[in-house]
């Protein structure tokens, strides 16, 4: 698919974000980080229903999608939400939200009596 149709770099960014957000555990981890702020892998593992290696894999996917940042402190790794990471998806949704709003308005106008 060419860049005109696919959206180029923006499309790639959205693809990565949608893949990262397609998993419920990753969404839950991200939501927790947004609400509670920076957390260690151990703290995130303690509150989740999955093993530490799985939590680390999920966090790696979120980091690859630029939704979280990480920092090392001794033997611990701490993760924080990167809310601006959602910008490509928010922009994509705004474009299509406006498009669908226009279409719904046009449909409503077709159904109104003259």
End-to-end CA separation in angstroms for the chain: 43
Residue 69, domain extent: 3-111
Could you give the number of structural domains in the chain? 1
Q: What's the predicted TM-score (pTM) here? A: 0.73
CATH number at residue 51: 1.10.10.10
How far apart, in whole angstroms, are the C-alpha atoms of residue 79 and residue 31?
12
- The whole-number pLDDT of residue 114 equals 57
- For the stretch 64-103, pLDDT in tens is 999 999 999 999 999 999 978 888 888 888 887 877 877 7
């Amino acid at each position: 698919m060419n860049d005109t149709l696919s959206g180029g770099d923006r499309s790639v960014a959205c693809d990565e974000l949608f893949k990262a957000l397609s998993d419920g555990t990753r969404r839950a981890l991200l939501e927790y980080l947004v609400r509670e702020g920076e957390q260690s892998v151990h703290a995130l593992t303690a509150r989740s229903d999955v093993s530490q290696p799985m939590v680390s894999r999920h966090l790696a996917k979120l980091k690859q999608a630029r939704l979280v940042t990480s920092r090392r402190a001794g033997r611990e790794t701490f993760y924080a939400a990167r809310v601006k990471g959602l910008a490509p998806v928010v922009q994509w949704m705004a474009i299509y939200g406006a498009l669908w709003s226009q279409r719904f308005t046009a449909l409503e106008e077709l159904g109104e009596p003259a």
